[in-house]
Amino acid sequence: MAFRAPFRALSTVARSKLRVGLIPGDGIGAEVIPAARRAIEALGSDIPKTEFVDLEAGFELFARSGDALPEETVEALGECDCALFGAVSSPIKKITGYSSPIVALRKKLDLYANVRPVVSVAAKGAEDTKPVDLVVVRENTECLYVKQESQTTSERGKEARAIRLITEYASQRIGKMAFELALGRPRQVFTIIHKSNVLSVTDGLFRESVRSVPRLVENGRYDNVKIEEQIVDSAVYRLFREPQIYDVMVAPNLYGDIISDAAAALVGSLGLVPSINAGDNFVMGEPVHGSAPDIAGQGIANPLASIRSAALMLRHLGYTSGADRLERAVNEVLYEAQVLTPDMGGKSKTQDVLDEVIRRL
């Protein structure tokens, strides 16, 4: 079976020891993060001696203590080289005093890029008529996720407003990371996702700022990268119709969130899609799936997205060999299609899938 890494390493700092923060969070996070830890431990000498630090955050913690993100967790992460975050249960109604710990961590640690590779692996004997091999690069700190909302009352009843923030600074640096990722891929096709035909000021600034990146880099570094654009609603339509046209997609926060979840439907399950939250000084792996309270505690959560997230985290740190082994093992499990959790149409338990991945390592 052919194998290719989703993107190349962006960091190559040598370490004699690796310190990994583990934040299971809510729901199935408590099941998939331990699985990712076991997979990392199984790599042996492909990575430095690894120490794991158990940390707390999440809505369940808030319900117990009134604090969704303890300062102790943030301080401990400052002593770590990287981290893995499981999932968070964010209520759909406003709860006084609560805000999402993952959003807060992205801001506190300046993890400005959410990188989400989506790759299809056809089962043995099956034909992949619409192969998917793309990376969504989502700006992680701005857009509507700044959560500046207000509500007033007028003669028309209640009125709610939300402020959307787009800056040249954030758009250019997410653009630069996306261009760098495009350089490491064979096709080197770069698509800017926006809605500047309607939101001409905010999305217009995002589009213009990302397009300006090649001019800011010396020696024509990105000259071979083909730059395309797509209006976000059209992009979703084409994603389902012809996903093979996309390679690297860069988008503001909200669009990137929606597009990557939609792309997950093309490869069979959210339980397969990994991500990293990356900045210039820290990286945190995070499976794209949520806390899945309907299956939490049943031992049937899919651990593959968390294992893939661990691989992306290691690759970002420069541990290419270990990352390759993890990704290859996951792809082989999907190719053989014998040991799969219920979300993939199988009957296996979380532990069964983890054991199969480790066997293939």
Give one word for 201, left, alpha or beta, with left for phi > 0 and alpha for psi -120 to 50: alpha
Q: How many CB atoms lie within 10 A of CB 222?
A: 21
> Rounded to the nearest 5 degrees, what angle is found at the Cα of 82, between the Cα atoms of 269 and 262?
20
Measured N-to-C along each axis, helices 29-41 and 304-316 cross at an angle, to the nearest 10 degrees, of 50
Measured N-to-C along each axis, helices 232-241 and 253-266 cross at an angle, to the nearest 10 degrees, of 10
The Cα–Cα gap between 210 and 63 comes to 41
The Cα–Cα gap between 145 and 30 comes to 26
Burial of 84 (0-12, 13-18, 19+ CB in 10 A): buried
Question: Which residues are annotated as catalytic?
Answer: 145, 195, 233, 257, 261
Helix ranges (DSSP H) in the chain: 29-41, 59-65, 71-77, 101-108, 168-183, 202-216, 232-241, 253-266, 304-316, 320-336, 350-360
Among 228, 170, 232, which Cα is nearest to 195's? 232
Contact 69, 105 (CB under 8 A): yes
The Cα–Cα gap between 259 and 287 comes to 15
And the tokens for 85? 């975050």
Residue spans of beta strands (DSSP E) within 141-232: 143-154, 157-165, 189-194, 226-231
The Cα–Cα gap between 142 and 148 comes to 11
And the tokens for 221? 């570094």
And the tokens for 322? 């270990």
